[in-house]
């Protein structure tokens, strides 16, 4: 995040913004306890979210982004260590758990939930400190804490072998969870532009990070000053234009940066505790490195990497490491997605679904796992 505040939009021209989808609707589970606009929880009936199978009629992103209100209304709450954790469940079939990246939430999967829920039970959660989940003041956020949240969610809520799908720091949290999982809680892993750590300090062997290290240390120092941290946070949060420019620098497909996306990022930043979460995550320990964790994982792994990622570039240390894995570890499959930025699932969902859906269908069935 320290880097994103310094970036300017790229001049890269995106590919076509049309996404081949065949629209259909599937009701989310109901009734649920969901956050209202006032921040309270209420009972609602199940609503319907537009979705698609990834084939047939060509629709624009605007047609397939889904109604954020309907996504929110399909959410419920899970109590974790006295904290409220927001999550969505939709569909029927083998379970998937979607885990967002920094600053995002359940809504960031708006272009994937409908497609995936046609054949799978889709769970998506807001990590503690993000979205509609609690943001406890003074809480020390760590990668290990998020990984434990994921493992406890699998154990207490899903209770079945699950495929974890993560983006950015959500990917890394899934890697940590899979490496620490006992038994058969995790049956597959999908990593979308996996982060090297909770913040930029994790990747110190990248020459780009080395050049910026003094600036990053200064940034950490400034964030430790409450008045300065609050002023910086408010400046980014209050200006939709600033936030849009930041998002444009992260996405390869600029047309995917719409008002819904800005609201997904901006809305939770107004919550009490959001500033504390921001400071803790940016200045805290980076956490375990995926280089030490991936060799411990023997389950099937699909890695999808946008080649226009300014944060974890494919030619950087983390990208190069993941690119080398398929030749060394037979359980890992990797695809580089051309013209795609740091958030492939929202940037070019059609390209992600094209690789993800066949890979999911190739996994052993639940009955094979139970009798295996």
Q: Give the tens place of pLDDT for each residue, 124-168.
A: 999 999 999 999 988 999 999 999 999 999 999 999 999 999 999
- Looking at per-residue pLDDT, the higher value among 223 and 193 belongs to 193
* pLDDT range class, residue 29, cuts 50, 70, 90: low
Q: Give the tens place of pLDDT for each residue, 274-296.
A: 988 888 888 888 899 999 999 99
Q: Which of 102, 101, 83, 147 is nearest to 278 (CA)?
A: 102
Report whether pLDDT(220) > 80. Answer: no
pLDDT of residue 5: 39
- Predicted TM-score (pTM) of the model is 0.80
CA distances from 60 to 175, 260, 357 (A): 33, 14, 20
188 CB-contact burial (10 Å; exposed 0-12 / middle 13-18 / buried 19+): buried
Report whether pLDDT(244) > 80. Answer: yes
Structurally, at CATH architecture level, domain 65-362 sits in 3-Layer(aba) Sandwich (3.40)
Name, in order, each residue with C-beta under 8 angstroms of 222's C-beta and a sequence gap of 6 or more.
228, 229, 232
Contact 26, 51 (CB under 8 A): yes
Q: Give the tens place of pLDDT for each residue, 97-106.
A: 999 999 999 9
The ranges assigned to domains in the chain are 65-362
Contact 166, 125 (CB under 8 A): no
Contact 93, 158 (CB under 8 A): no
* pLDDT range class, residue 112, cuts 50, 70, 90: very high
């Amino acid at each position: 995040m320290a880097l994103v505040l310094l970036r300017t939009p790229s001049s890269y021209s995106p590919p076509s913004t049309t996404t081949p989808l065949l629209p259909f609707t599937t009701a989310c589970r109901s009734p649920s306890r969901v956050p209202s606009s006032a921040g309270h929880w209420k009972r609602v009936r199940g609503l319907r979210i537009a979705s698609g199978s990834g084939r047939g009629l060509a629709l624009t992103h605007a047609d397939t982004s889904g109604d954020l209100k309907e996504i929110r209304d399909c959410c419920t709450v899970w109590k974790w260590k006295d904290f409220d954790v927001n999550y969505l469940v939709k569909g029927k079939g083998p379970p998937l758990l979607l885990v967002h990246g920094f600053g995002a939430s359940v809504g960031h999967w708006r272009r994937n939930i409908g497609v995936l829920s046609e054949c799978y039970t889709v769970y998506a959660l807001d990590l503690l400190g993000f979205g509609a989940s609690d943001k406890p003041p003074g809480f020390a956020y760590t990668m290990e804490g998020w990984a434990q949240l994921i493992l406890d969610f699998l154990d207490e809520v899903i209770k079945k072998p699950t495929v974890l799908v993560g983006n950015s720091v959500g990917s890394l949290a899934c890697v940590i969870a899979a490496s620490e999982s006992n038994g058969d809680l995790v049956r597959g892993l999908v990593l979308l532009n996996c982060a090297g750590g909770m913040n930029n300090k994790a990747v110190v062997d990248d020459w780009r990070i080395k050049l910026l290290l003094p600036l990053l240390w200064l940034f950490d120092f400034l964030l430790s000053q409450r008045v300065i941290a609050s002023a910086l946070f408010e400046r980014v949060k209050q200006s939709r234009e600033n936030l849009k420019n930041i998002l444009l620098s992260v996405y390869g497909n600029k047309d995917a940066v719409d008002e819904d996306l800005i609201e997904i990022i901006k809305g939770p930043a107004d919550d009490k505790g959001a500033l504390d979460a921001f400071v803790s995550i940016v200045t805290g320990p980076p956490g375990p490195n995926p280089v030490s964790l991936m060799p411990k994982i023997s389950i099937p792994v699909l890695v999808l990497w946008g080649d226009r990622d300014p944060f974890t570039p494919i030619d950087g240390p983390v990208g190069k490491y993941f690119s080398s894995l398929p030749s060394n570890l037979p359980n890992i499959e990797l695809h580089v997605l051309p013209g795609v930025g740091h958030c492939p699932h929202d940037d070019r969902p059609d390209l992600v679904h094209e690789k993800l859906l066949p890979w999911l269908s190739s996994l052993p069935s639940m009955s094979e796992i139970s009798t295996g």
